[in-house]
Structure 1
Amino acid sequence: MYVFLEQKPLQIVIRNYTEQDFEQMIAIQQESFPPPYPSDLWWKHEQLKQHVSLFPQGALCAVADGKLVGSMTALRVGSDQLQGSHTWEAIADQGYIRNHDPSGDTLYVVDLCVVPAFRKAGIGKWLMQSMYEVVVHLQCDRLLGCGRMPGYHRHAHEASAQEYLDNVVSGIWEDPVVSFLLRCGRTPVGVAENYLDDEESGHYGALMQWVNPFITIDREEE
């Protein structure tokens, strides 16, 4: 497909990442999540091997000029794995996704990143759209994930995490991650406390979903 970067068309390819892409996958993480983001949360070779082995359909990357510029990773989980509150470490199995359930009805996003130089090209939105297509293809009920709220630390003195999320959704405040997810069609379902070691987000995450409209229609017809 073509995206536009600085008003110029740029050809990109979205595909599944493979073992040959691991070095570039790690480089994407390092460039996309610099300190104070914890470096121990960047992908490791062992984790990436599990992704492409256990659930290759949920391992996506974006390529421009032969170089990886973005990636997105997900696994399938069942409703029992989402009971109560959860952390990124628990739902992602510390990034190894060994808890992937091939019959799970929810596609859970554990990572989405685009290198800074390409963020204005809409690549993140296309990765998200591609993962929606995976949801439809696999006949999952929904896509779910917990996004960072990096703007929350500026308002933590005046609002709870839920109030901050509500104000972003209402358009009172803007958050670079939450607002992006809203533009991608995701809707909030709540906040998760102590979701990630992330001081900017107050260690909270915004739990947001996209519901498979085809599954919804089928159930209504039944």
Structure 2
Amino acid sequence: MRQEIKKVELRNLQIEDYKQLKKSMIEAYPDMENSYWDEKHIEKLLEKFPEGQLVILADDIVVGSALSIIVSEKNAYKVHTYKEITSNYTFKTHNDDGEILYGIDVFVHPKYRGLRLGRRLYDARKELCEQLNLKAIVFSGRIPNYAQYANELNPKEYIEKVNKRELFDPVLTFQLSNDFQPVRVMRNYLEGDKSSQDFAVLLDWNNIYYEEKKKLINVDKSVIRLGLIQWQMRSLGNLEALFEQAEFFIDAVSGYGSDFALFPELFTAPLMADYNHLSEAEAIKELAKYTDAIKKKMQEFAISYNINIISGSMPYLENGHVYNVGFLCRRDGTSEMYRKIHITPNEVFHWGITGGDVIQTFDTDCGKIGIVICYDVEFPELSRLMADQGMNILFVPFLTDTQNGYTRVKHCAQARAIENECYVAIAGCVGNLPKVNNMDIQYAQAAVFTPSDFAFPSNGIKAEATPNTEMTLIVDVDLDVLKELHEHGSVQIMKDRRHDLYQLKKLK
């Protein structure tokens, strides 16, 4: 019968708790002789690592505990016994400079089970692992129901069936439900564990926030600030006028500490006004003559304003073909080109644009990003391949003339955020450009979209600009929240794909 309790407390173990601790341990391990720690062992643990010793109290009585040491990664994962990992219960294996939080005991008094007290202890261990910047939690768990199946299943087969929920094990099932993963079977691990037939399962839980080493400068950032530029189409007298307007916005978003500035697709189109007497196909080739100069200037802006610039897109002439391209201009002065892969019927008919053939992600000082141009976002394969390469933020410069076109871009971008568990930032051009053929009207609303889970806005929209108005949108996105989602989300889309039924891969 479950105990009724009025107060539950989780705190660090104190030596004054020993008598209650011993009593609860004896009750927790009724099938094991000498199932409790001697007081001298508890004193030694508290001397070496007081932060790692936890207890649960119910109405001021110790009813559960989690005991831990820190060991080297090598010792944690090699084959060992319980005596070896604890150095014959002296805990000389404890190493303050180790990488692994090793669990040497977890128990809850049987009268207090069913209240999720064990989960509290496990969660507290995980929090401790993160706070101490340790790589993982490792321990070898008992499999006390294995004795019932030992004549028909070997330990590996038993573990697989428990993992598939075909069998229940009171210890292993609980550990698996707390996100611990089996690593290997341990033979003769705990002497006298007859119900487990002296077998155990080495399990681990990886700390996704672990940092390899502390840095004083160039620390990896968790919160990334995005500066989205909703660009007003206007007549421009020359290239310098374009640079002046672009610099105004770069200055503005960098002044707010933005890590990225995102320009729209074909924001350079006003420069085509001088070639309006030519056919659209010839005019776009003339516009392409500015592209090298624009790239060079964007590189200068990226350095001088200390910001990564995604230069929207512009025409690029190569071997007689016109491509729709843009440039990632990093603040360290380096740059890379990206190309629009899927070309709309309008681009083909009026401008003769050719599609690119490279699917890639880009490394930046703010993590790995992807860039697709407008129509590309309506093809889910591209961003899924990028997500498989570790993309956290997808940037989408776009150009749409009507609200119908914008709706396609918006809703597809939202879908990409959900299905790839990433952030998606979109930015487009607004206003009219009457003196340039095929560029008369534009409709846009810059936005940042998120996955759909409890840590994010309920509608999946982090922020939106005012539609059809020239402005900037400054938005913070947190990469650590994405890490949490990938491992512990309500659904885990990237992990739950059925690779046994289907696969997606690049052909070149």
Q: Same fold (TM over 0.5)?
A: yes
Match for residue 14 of structure 1 among 1, 10, 26: 10
SS of the residue aligned with 2:65? strand
CA offsets 1:134-169 (integer angstroms, 9 cap, x no match): 100000000011111011111111111111111100
Range with bigger deviation, 89-98 or 127-136: 89-98
Following superposition, the deviation at residue 185 of structure 1 comes to 1.7
Cα distance in 2, alignment partners of residues 216 and 208 from structure 1? 21
More deviation, 84-93/55-64: 84-93
1:85 — aligned with what?
79
Q: In the aligned structure 2, how far is the partner of 1:200 from the partner of 1:189?
A: 21
Residues 1:161 and 2:171 are matched in the alignment: no
Query: Which moves more between the two structures, 127-136 or 86-95?
Result: 86-95
1:181 aligns with 2:175: yes
Task: Give structure 1 regions of 4+ aligned residues with deviation exceeding 2 angstroms.
Answer: 8-11, 93-96
**Identity among equivalent pairs (%):** 27
Give the C-alpha shift of residue 206 in structure 1: 1.1
Unmatched segments (≥5 aa) in structure 1: none
* Alpha-carbon offset, residue 32 of structure 1: 0.7
Deviates more, 1:80-89 or 1:126-135: 80-89
Who wins on radius of gyration, i.e. which is larger? 2
Map of 2:128 onto structure 1: 134
Name the structure 2 match of 1:24: 20
Note the C-alpha offset of 1:94.
3.0
1:154-209, CA deviations, whole angstroms, 9 ceiling, x for partnerless residues? Answer: 11111111111111001111101000111222111111000012111010001111
Q: Does 1:204 align with 2:170?
A: no
Q: How does 1:29-108 map to 2 (within 5 A)?
A: 29-34=25-30, 36-39=31-34, 41-82=35-76, 84-108=78-102
Give the Cα separation in 1 of the matches to 2:169 and 2:129: 26
Alignment deviations for residues 31-57 of structure 1 (CA, whole Å, 9 cap, x no partner): 1111x3121x41001100011110011
- 8 Å Cα contact 1:75/1:107 also seen in 2: yes
Aligned to 2:137: 143
Q: Please tell me the residue identity of whatever aligns with 2:185.
A: V
Map of 2:209 onto structure 1: 214
What's the offset of the Cα at 1:79? 2.2
> Aligned-pair distance for 1:83?
5.5
Inter-CA distance 141–83: structure 2 relative to 1 (3 Å threshold): closer
Question: CA, structure 1 residues 169+216, in 2 after alignment: closer, same or farther (shift >3 Å)?
Answer: farther
More helix by percentage: 1
How many residue pairs get matched?
214
| Partner of residue 115, structure 1 | 109
Between the aligned partners of 1:203 and 1:99, the Cα distance in structure 2 is 22
Higher relative contact order (CA 8 A, sep 6+): 1
* TM-fit CA distance, 1:9: 7.2
Identify which range, 190-199 or 91-100, moves more after superposition.
Answer: 91-100
Partner of residue 146 from structure 2, selected from 140, 147, 152: 152
Letter of the structure 1 residue corresponding to residue 106 of structure 2: L
TM-score (norm 1): 0.90
Partner Cα distance (2:177, 2:94) in 1: 28
